[in-house]
Structure 1
Amino acid sequence: MSANSADPALPAGGPATVEVVLVKAGRTKIRYPAALLADDGTRVSVRAPWAGEGVRDFGFVRFEPGDVFTEHYWRDRWYSVKEVRTSARTLKGHYCDVTRPAEVSAGRLVVEDLDLDLWVSADGTDVRRLDEDEFAASGLSATDPAAAAAAVAALDELDALARGAGLVTLLG
C-alpha cells in the first residue's frame, strides 16, 4: 500500500505521522518520524526514509540515504519486519529486529530492541541470523529469562518463515 492509498483507518488527506522510538538497554537508540500506513489494532505499518547517519555497510547489504523502509510492528509478537527498498523502489530485502511487542500511544510507536536480528535478501536465498553474540552478552537470559526465551523463539520463527513460505506470509 502506498502512502496515498485510500484506507478507511487513516485520516482523510493522507497518512498521519508517528514517531518511531527504538530503545536498547534502557536508552533511546534512535527516533524518527514515519508515515502511518495502517493500524489494525494488532499490526502497525509505517514508512520512513533511512534514518541512520550516512551509509551503513553490513557487507551483505548497504543502507544508505534514499532507501525507504516499510516497517511492520506487532503488539502481540516479539519482532518487527522492515522491507528495505532503494529510492528507485528496488527491493533490497527484509531486515527483522527481535523486540518486545510494540507499544503504541499518542502518536508514538516504541519498541525495545533485544539484539537479535535476521536479514533476508530480496530473492530469499541469503538468510542470516545476526548479533547472537550481542544477545548472549546482554545478560537478558539471566535478568529476564522469559523475555530471553521469547526473543530466541521469535528469531527461530522468523528464520523458519524466511526459509519456508517466506516473510510475505506475515505481511500480506
Structure 2
Amino acid sequence: MSAHSDGPARVEVVLVKAGRMKIRYPAELLADDGVRATVRAPWAGEGVRDFGFVRFEPGDMFTEHYWRDRWYSVKEVRAADGTLKGHYCDITRPAELSAGRLVVEDLDLDLWVSADGGDIRRLDEDEFAASGLLTRDPEAAAAAVAALDELDARAREGGFGALLA
C-alpha cells in the first residue's frame, strides 16, 4: 500500500493451525506500534457459529489485538448493534506482520470472557492435549499454557482494560 493511498490500511489475517492455513480474511489495520498490531474485521466464518455460551454471526465485528512478543491474541467481539458480546482469546505463537499479511499460528487453547466478566471459560484443552505439541515442542507448549494462565488471571482480576489500552 502506498503512502498516498486513501482510506485505512488493509492487511490479510492468516490463521495457521498444525502447519495448514485454517482461515484467512481481510482486515483494517487500526494501529501497529511495532509490538502490538490491532485490526478490525467482520465475522469471517460462514453463517452462525453457536458455541452454546455465545453466538458469532454475520454482522458481528471483531477488534483483534496481536502481539509480536506474546503467545496470545485478544479479540473483542461486538454484535452488529455495537453491543459487547465479550472477548475471545486465542493462544498462538507470537504474530508476524510483513508485506500486508498478519500471520499467527493457533495452538488450540482458547479463553472466552463474557462482556460482564461473569463467564470465563478455558476452551479446547482436549484438542491441545491431543495436538502432540507437548512432545513435539515442549517449550512452545509451556509458553502456551503460561499464556492461557496469564489471560485467565487477567480476566478474573478485572478484565483486559489495561492490556488493551
Identity over aligned residues, as a percent? Answer: 82
SS across alignment from 2:105: strand
Pick from 119, 123, 133: which aligns with 1:130? 123
Kindly provide the amino acid, as one letter, of the partner of residue 119 in structure 2: D
Does the alignment pair 1:159 with 2:148?
A: no
- Where structure 1 has 5 or more consecutive residues not aligned to the other structure, the ranges are 1-9
SS across alignment from 1:157: helix
Pick from 52, 57, 62: which aligns with 1:64? 57
Alignment deviations for residues 124-151 of structure 1 (CA, whole Å, 9 cap, x no partner): 0100000000000001000000000000
Using the alignment, how far apart are the partners of 1:144 and 1:134 within structure 2? 15
* Cα distance, 1:15 vs structure 2: 1.5
- Runs of 4+ aligned residues of structure 1 deviating over 2 Å after TM superposition are 10-14
Kindly provide the amino acid, as one letter, of the partner of residue 116 in structure 1: L
Using the alignment, how far apart are the partners of 1:134 and 1:65 within structure 2? 26
Structure 1 counterpart of 2:20 = 27
TM superposition score normalised by structure 1: 0.93
Pick from 119, 133, 136: which aligns with 1:140? 133
SS across alignment from 2:88: strand
Using the alignment, how far apart are the partners of 1:61 and 1:166 within structure 2? 18
- Where structure 2 has 5 or more consecutive residues not aligned to the other structure, the ranges are none
SS across alignment from 1:14: coil
Using the alignment, how far apart are the partners of 1:11 and 1:47 within structure 2? 21
**Paired positions, count:** 163
